Chain A
């Protein structure tokens, strides 16, 4: 008798989809950078976008909170539904969108202000009360594991923190406005291995409350931290496409597409 042991269950057909990108195309002027890209991002899970340089990962990520609006002559078509609302609609309140969908960049970019002011900046702009701001600053710094390290020097410049601390401060700044989704664009690429691991551990804590999408060049990082992975590649027209999307376990152990396997095994070139 031959019995198959059931594989570990992963994808849940009834899972809550937080962000749903459907047939997204993106253009820098006449150049198409993204073609027909679709991705259903599950709530309170970490989704990684991987692929070689120039495949449109960061472009795709920046569409989710309309960061591309800041670049002239860009255009996005298709739909990106955040809880059912198409964020690409012209009537979308972009300020509100970016509050709901926060972002962490490749290099830590704290404001040249105090640690406290960095985290309080967003809540202050939202007009929150002083006591509420104090509470959220403390909570955000605790959520990012910084509180114990900085509670006695909250009024000192954020620029005096180490690179890893600065990146966690930027994360605290994003958390302070109570987002639902956090976009991370290679958040650990400028950090040393220990600071990188701290960010990765934080992500595991944060995913209990937030939906996270991360772009990373580091495939070990994608396999370590994410629940789902999308592999992207440039097509013959040099536009980025989503080649394969699925549970990270499948993408890194049993990819369906030979192009995915070639890339993750380092045979792509």
Chain B
């Protein structure tokens, strides 16, 4: 059957490319914010914070583009689900970018103080969330709902690590009031990573919606 909506298809393809570009920018921001912490690299942390403006601007452009397509093309069925999902995905990605900024700001503060402890669980937690972000973008490209569901399930691993880190840092604060500031900052940082994983789950739900038209709760 011949395609009769060439321009519309082109607009959808451009929207999808934009979402994936935003995803890769956020993925890089998360990785570099963690590297700024582990390597105590203040310059890198500042770069992550500065580059968040680019993520925000792309977010604005993609929302405008999606709105314009909806207003002018009256999409239905899969087309409508695609645009609605993309709108939600870019919102989640923008918030992930904010979490990366949160990590970078935490790194800047922590890097000025003696390191509280060797970072073991935090990089592990970051590694899982980074891989979740990377893989969920793959699931978006492939519109693979099975893959999306599997990625969402990894949120449990992140939650386990978060609870372990939380208990350990609280113990530090109880045992030595001198550690309270650093431990509190690390707690917020861990929370940022935990929230990124939650937002990956939200995107996984969008992928399922895109494929099935059903709104599901994967958390």
Contact = CB atoms under 8 A, between A and B. Distances in A.
B217 A261 contact: no
B214 A4 contact: yes
A71 interface: no
A5 B78 CA distance: 19
A168 B80 CA distance: 34
Interface in B8-60: 8
B76 A252 contact: yes
Contacts of B217: 2-5
Interface in A109-154: none
Interface residues of A, number: 21
A231 B120 CA distance: 59
Interface string B81-95: 100000000000000
A220 B80 CA distance: 13
Given A253-B81, A254-B77, A261-B77, A2 B4 contact: no
Interface residues of B, number: 24
Given A253-B81, A255-B77, A267 B218 contact: no
B216 interface: yes
Given A262-B1, A267-B3, A253 B80 contact: yes
B147 to A, nearest CB: 14
Contact of B76 (A2, A3, A4, A219): A219
Given A2-B149, A2-B217, A5-B215, A253 B5 contact: no
B144 interface: no
Contacts of B4: 266-269
A254 to B, nearest CB: 4
Interface in A227-269: 252-255, 259, 261-262, 264-269
A265 B5 contact: yes
B138 interface: no
Contacts of B79: 265
Interface in A168-209: none
B149 A265 contact: no
B76 A223 contact: yes
A269 B1 contact: yes
A162 B217 CA distance: 51
Given A253-B81, A264-B76, A264-B77, A2 B213 contact: no
B113 interface: no
B178 interface: no
A255 B75 CA distance: 14
A52 B104 CA distance: 57
Nearest to B213: A254
B78 A265 contact: yes
Contacts of B152: 2
Interface in B196-219: 212-218
A266 B213 contact: no
Contacts of A259: 1
B175 interface: no
Nearest to A7: B214
Contacts of A266: 4-5, 8
Contacts of A268: 1, 4
B76 A253 contact: yes
Contacts of B153: 2
Contacts of B212: 254
Contacts of A2: 149, 152-153, 216-218
B77 A267 contact: no
B74 interface: yes
Contacts of B214: 4-5, 7, 254
Contacts of B218: 2
B71 interface: no
Given A5-B214, A267-B1, 4 more contacts: A3-B217, A262-B1, A265-B5, A266-B4
8 contacts: A4-B214, A7-B214, A253-B213, A261-B78, A264-B77, A265-B75, A267-B5, A268-B4
- Please give me the 9 A-B residue pairs with the lowest Cβ-Cβ distance, nearest first: A254-B213, A269-B4, A266-B5, A3-B217, A269-B2, A4-B216, A252-B76, A265-B79, A253-B213
